[in-house]
Amino acid sequence: MTAEAVLMTAEETTATPTILLATIRAARSGDHRAFEDLMIATQRYVANLSWRILGDAEEVKDAVQETFLRVFRHLKRYDETRDFHAWLARVTVNVCRDLNRRRRKRRVFAPLDEASTHATIERVDDDVIARAEVALVTRAIDTLPERERLAIILRDIDGLSTEEVAEILGNKTSTVRVQLKNARAKVRDWVESWRKR
């Protein structure tokens, strides 16, 4: 079984597919090739989620490595009745939180120069304008408290359900809904206030 087959099957459904489950079972029984296939199939997901949380290439490398070390050590704890990607997301989020606590640093952005930004946007095509909007929203998300930031990343960017986000963050579903409502309002307010400058 190739990593590509595992990945293709993993993307087809939110539940843990049969091929992926077979790979997990083989990895649990000590098949190192199966664990390597599992890593290859899921490393992009882990790296993307880590990037959204950490925003630093070196930290992302550390997070991916530490995530798969924890997955290797704790794969026997994975409950096969649950979605593997949600379990993997929880491990990844916990690793990123630990890295943030250890390093006590957050992404720092250079201040936006309003005059040059507006002049540039007026001369560029729609694709660049869309990227500028994404950059604004990303900066706004980075200003959020950790719980709200993780909730909005997992729910609105990664597309996980509210229930999955609650499980990953160790919160009640109602708490996640409140966090998402607050986070979305803060992001909207931040973007609007930046535009009024």
Question: Could you tell me which residue, 69 or 120, shows the higher pLDDT?
Answer: 69
As a whole number of angstroms, the distance between CA 58 and CA 37 comes to 24
Least confident of 16-30, 41-55, 70-84, 95-109: 95-109
Crossing angle of helices 32-54 and 84-103, rounded to 10°:
50
User: Nearest-5° angle of CA 126, CA 128, CA 131?
Assistant: 110
Q: Which two structure tokens, joined as six digits, stand for 137?
A: 């929203």
List helix spans (H) across 84-124: 84-103, 114-123
Which pLDDT belongs to residue 182? 92
Which pLDDT belongs to residue 192? 84
Burial tier of 71 (Cβ tally within 10 Å: 0-12, 13-18, 19+): buried
Which pLDDT belongs to residue 140? 84
Residue-wise pLDDT for 125-177, tens only, equals: 455 556 667 777 888 888 889 889 999 888 988 888 899 899 888 999 999 99
The pTM score is 0.64
Q: What is the mean pLDDT of residues 83-99?
A: 92
Q: What is the mean pLDDT of residues 33-51?
A: 92
- Residues 6+ positions from 114 with CB-CB distance below 8 Å: 197
Strand, helix or coil for residue 80 = coil
Compute the mean pLDDT over every residue in the chain, rounded to the nearest whole number.
80
Least confident of 28-37, 126-135, 165-174, 179-188: 126-135
Domains, the chain, in order of start with CATH, read: 3-103 (1.10.1740.10), 114-195 (1.10.10.10)
- What is the full DSSP assignment across 24-64? HHHHHTT-HHHHHHHHHHHHHHHHHHHHHHH--HHHHHHHH
